[in-house]
Amino acid sequence: MAVYTVTFVTGLPLNLLAFCAFVVKARRRLLPADVLLLNLTVSDLVLLAFLPIRIAEASWEMKWQMPDFLCPLSGLLFFSSIYLTTLSLTGVSVDRYLSVAFPLRYKAGRRPAYALVAVALFWVAAFSHCSIIYVVLYQARGNDTVGNLTRCYATFTDNQLAVLLPVRLEMFLVLFCLPLGITAFCYARFIAIIRSLPLVSPGRKRRAIGLWRVYALLLSTFNASLDPLIFYFSSSSFQKICLECLQAAWEKLQLGQLCPGVWLEATENVATEDSQMMQ
């Protein structure tokens, strides 16, 4: 429960802020990386939206005391958002690798429409696989009832396991191992290429390499808090922008207004830093 609570308290404001910044940026100029990062933010917000249900369930010692329909719905959206995050991170790794491995061809051929197609496929893959929750729960009632205790999607009958275990294995291979392999390859090549560039300063190399996210696939829900910090605000001007943002936010809040311009600058720095490195 502590992890869920910390994730919700820290992740919700950061992702809402990042979402607003990307919406404003999309109105000006939309890049494939922006589409992937916006999808990452949306998937994190979906996860965060249903975290209170997980927090309540944990506070009740995993006893399900909410309406029955929320059990499969919350499970579907909760697990789908985790896999969407995994696939979005993989898409970001591919985008970053292509931007440094084939800079000219990438710059000439990049289209936001390609990223939109990839995002649509991510959603289809995640929700189609996680819909097994409904199949299992309604195939023979997935709630385990012992006396007055009811647990949601916790224990299963032999018939349910016969359906669930093969699907879980396939999900592990397709939605975890495959993205992990692609992410590891892309960032390994990305790091090797960046290190081999003679005209890039050591400081910029360390910053670019420091954005790699292979291990982020293991962070699941807590990753929702880390995504905005690492992807949106890790740029060469982060320290200065952070201070400016705090000052601007305080001034705008006093006026009852919202000004995302400072945060927008941070996202633009991250989205364009790789392409600038190749020039």
Q: What is the pLDDT of residues 146-166, one digit of tens each?
A: 444 477 766 677 777 788 888
Alpha carbons 125 and 144: distance in angstroms, whole number: 28
Judge whether residue 123 has pLDDT over 90. Answer: yes
Measure the CA–CA gap between 210 and 12, rounded to whole angstroms: 24
Return the pLDDT at 233: 53
Q: Is the pLDDT of residue 53 over 90?
A: no
Residue 83: burial class (beta carbons within 10 Å; 0-12, 13-18, 19+): buried
Give the pLDDT of residue 21. Answer: 76
Sketch the domain layout of the chain as residue ranges: 2-274
Tell me if 261 sits within 8 A of 87, measured CB to CB: no
Residue with the larger pLDDT of the pair 64 and 267: 64
Is the model more confident about 72 or about 266? 72
Query: Tokens standing for 238?
Result: 């982060």
Q: Say which residue the tokens 């919202």 belong to.
A: 258
Please, which contacts does 240-248 make with residues 24 or more away whose CB atoms are closer than 8 Å?
A: 241/265, 241/266, 241/269
**DSSP character at residue 1:** -
Are 197 and 230 within 8 A, CB to CB? Answer: no
The beta-strand segments (E) located in the chain are 144-146, 149-151
Residue with the bigger pLDDT between 160 and 188: it is 188
Q: Find the mean pLDDT for residues 265-274.
A: 50
| Residues 129, 175 contacting (CB under 8 angstroms) | yes
With bands split at pLDDT 50, 70 and 90, how would you rate the model's confidence at 252?
Answer: low
Q: How far apart are the first and last CA of the chain?
A: 47
In terms of CATH, what superfamily is 2-274? Rhodopsin 7-helix transmembrane proteins (1.20.1070.10)
Quick check: 100 pLDDT over 80?
yes
Lowest mean pLDDT among 84-93, 134-143, 174-183: 134-143
pLDDT tens-digit map of 128-146: 888 887 777 665 444 444 4
